[in-house]
């Protein structure tokens, strides 16, 4: 081999090595191994044939990192979060978590089933948010350690055994969360649950997406499309009013792709003032058909997009309004306001107390039935 050829080969190998080191998420499995509330936490990596990766911890059945290619073919981490388990267990966050028993809010933390009223934690303006999550007193499944049932190369199934009365909810509930990374670069999520007493269940994934590659760049540049002609307005405590209103002619209209930041500070519009930005549930036109695209998020910087498919009636779009710079993310950035956004597939907020909703919108689960919720995050580039 000629000297020039050898030098070129070595330069190429060094470039490949440098790229791989740059592209890999800075995660160390040992940094996610500890004992919390009597159970051991760990970190698991799922891969597909294209070299994409998902990193999952059994603390809260959380997605820690998602690695997908950008328009140049370089791998980018598209969700924000911490780089060790200590931060997850000591700093209040829902980053990447599986939320349960009930995602979103329940008015005044009260539900009534068969004439019996149950009082739940009131952790958000007097309401029960995300199952009553509280990092200091673990409530809500996002702050508990799940059991790992099965791990394959591209899939993991985690189990939560929730006892009757946990966080005030009735029924012994057995729930599973299964993440599968397929070769189409999609994360396929299936949640299932059973109960021995009538209860309510509403599970979702709470990943904070930032498709910019550099997570210090806010998501206000992202283009968002929501396949929804209506939304459920909220009051100044973030509780839905019971109304279903059209998005047409309002800043809530994402039926055509629009930059998240275009109208986000238009606080003359009361819903944006009430939500401090976008923190609302949209009524999906897909009506439970998980073959139809419910939402699409796109970064013009990387060309990465994520499409959302679900069998659920609603999706909560949250624009990261309350991120306040506390803590450092995996990239070493402060997680400032609107450096991540969520697309949470779900039953409607407070559906146990909204009798005007159609039956299939109900979150009630009874013995002998199985709760089933499906969400797909399909990644690609434009």
What residues are labeled active site? 206, 344
Q: How far apart are CA 288 and CA 312, in angstroms?
A: 5
> Is 128 in contact with 106 (CB distance < 8 Å)?
yes
CA distance between the termini of the chain:
41
CA distances from 149 to 42, 73, 160, 189, 251 (A): 13, 34, 10, 15, 44
- The DSSP H or E segment spanning 76 is strand 75-77
CA pair distance 258, 275, nearest whole angstrom:
19
Dist CA 291 CA 52 (whole Å):
23
CA–CA separation, 213 and 232 (whole Å): 32
Neighbours of 53 (CB within 10 A): 21
Residue 7 pairs in a beta bridge with none
Which secondary-structure segment (H or E) carries 245? strand 245-246
Q: Parallel, antiparallel, or unpaired: how do β-strands 97-99 and 173-181 relate?
A: unpaired
Q: What gap in Å lies between CA 261 and CA 273, rounded to an integer?
A: 14
Convert 287-306 to b/e letters by CB count within 10 Å (16 or more is b).
Answer: eeebeebbbbbbbebbbbbb
Strand 245-246 relative to strand 258-259: parallel, antiparallel, unpaired? unpaired
């Amino acid at each position: 081999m000629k000297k020039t050829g050898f030098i070129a080969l070595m330069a190429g190998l060094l470039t490949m090595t440098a790229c791989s080191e740059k592209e890999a998420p800075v995660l160390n499995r040992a940094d996610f191994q500890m004992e919390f509330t009597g159970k051991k936490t760990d970190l698991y990596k799922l891969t597909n044939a294209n070299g994409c990766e998902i990193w999952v911890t059994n603390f809260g059945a959380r997605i820690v990192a998602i690695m997908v290619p950008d328009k140049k073919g370089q791998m980018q981490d598209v969700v924000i979060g911490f780089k060790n388990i200590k931060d997850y267990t000591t700093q209040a966050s829902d980053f990447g978590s599986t939320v349960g028993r009930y995602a979103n809010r329940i008015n005044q933390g009260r539900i009534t089933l068969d004439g019996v009223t149950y009082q739940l934690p009131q952790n958000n303006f007097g309401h029960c948010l995300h199952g009553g999550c509280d990092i200091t007193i673990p409530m809500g499944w996002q702050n508990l350690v799940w059991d790992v049932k099965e791990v394959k190369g591209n899939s993991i199934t985690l189990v939560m055994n929730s006892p009757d009365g946990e966080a005030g909810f009735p029924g012994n509930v057995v729930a599973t969360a299964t993440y599968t990374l397929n070769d189409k670069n999609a994360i396929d999520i299936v949640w299932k649950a059973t109960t021995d007493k009538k209860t309510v269940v509403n599970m979702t994934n709470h990943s904070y997406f930032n498709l910019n590659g550099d997570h210090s760049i806010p998501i206000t540049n992202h283009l968002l499309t929501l396949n929804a002609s209506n939304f459920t307005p909220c009051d100044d405590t973030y509780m839905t009013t019971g109304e279903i209103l059209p998005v047409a002619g309002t800043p809530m209209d994402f039926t055509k792709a629009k930059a998240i930041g275009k109208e986000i500070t238009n606080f003359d519009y009361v819903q944006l003032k009430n939500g401090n930005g976008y923190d609302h549930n949209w009524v999906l036109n897909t009506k439970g058909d998980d073959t139809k695209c419910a939402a699409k998020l796109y970064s013009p910087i990387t060309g990465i997009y994520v499409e959302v498919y679900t069998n659920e009636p609603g999706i909560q779009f949250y624009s990261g309004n309350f991120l306040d710079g506390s803590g450092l993310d995996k990239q070493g950035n402060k997680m400032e306001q609107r450096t991540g956004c969520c697309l949470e597939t779900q039953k409607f907020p407070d559906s146990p107390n909204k009798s005007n909703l159609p039956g299939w919108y109900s979150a009630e689960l009874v013995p002998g039935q199985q709760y089933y919720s499906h969400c797909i995050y399909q990644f690609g580039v434009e």
